[in-house]
Amino acid sequence: GIAPEVAGAGQRLLDGKAKGQPIATAAEAMSEIVTAVAGELVRLQRSAPPLGLVQVARYLNPGNSSAPVLLALLLDLRGREEAALQVLRSVPADDPLASQARDSQVRILTKLKRLDEALALANAAARAPGATFADQARLGETLAAMKRFDEAAAAFQRAIDLAQAAPRRDNLWSLYLLRASALEEGNRWTEARATLQQGLVLAPEQPLLLNFLG
């Protein structure tokens, strides 16, 4: 996809500066396998949330950041938001999955109406050196949840500007949709319509864009 961490990880690998998670021991390999099995159980939704399996994966390899990200998702689904936030804070800032962990933190904090905390986290990521379009979009969504629609629209525009330089732009239309929504909520319909039309240039048959414009 166009996830910025994917492109960044690929470039680091080519530059010989990979910061991924090498699998060098049997325990690390088993951790990956157990995490994958747990993820499939979640996807199939044919059993109780596999909290125990994910905890085993974390025990086998504490450096496997996929496990805490998945565990936090499961805890959140079971209404244990504080526990989920605590798990997500264990993911280091330079981890390949740090962006996903931040997304989950901001989403949970927003759901809990702890909007100032969500904004502080999203703002810090958006202002950090090397911030990506995902960081700007996360900030835009947080500002929109706070009904600060003009600021949200500006953040989504920054996200669009950064995303236009991404290797793949398959889902760039979604950023135009988010910006248009913020503009419309801020009573700036003329700009919202123009933004939707920009998105339709990229995805002329996208039903969400067409529905919003309609």
Whether residue 69 contacts residue 100, with contact meaning beta carbons closer than 8 Å, is answered with yes
Q: Is the pLDDT of residue 59 over 60?
A: yes
pTM higher than 0.85:
no
Region 164-171: mean pLDDT is 74
- Model pLDDT, residue 46: 61
Residues 160-165 have a mean pLDDT of: 88
Cα 38 off chain centre by: 20
Q: Is the pLDDT of residue 191 over 90?
A: yes
Packing angle, helices 81-88 and 66-77, rounded to 10: 170
Select from 69, 58, 141, 131 the least CA-distant residue to 105. Answer: 69
The predicted-structure confidence for 20-44, as pLDDT tens digits, reads as follows 567 778 888 888 888 888 888 877 7
**Confidence band, pLDDT 50/70/90 cuts, at residue 84:** very high
Q: What is the pLDDT of residues 7-25, one digit of tens each?
A: 566 666 677 766 556 777 8
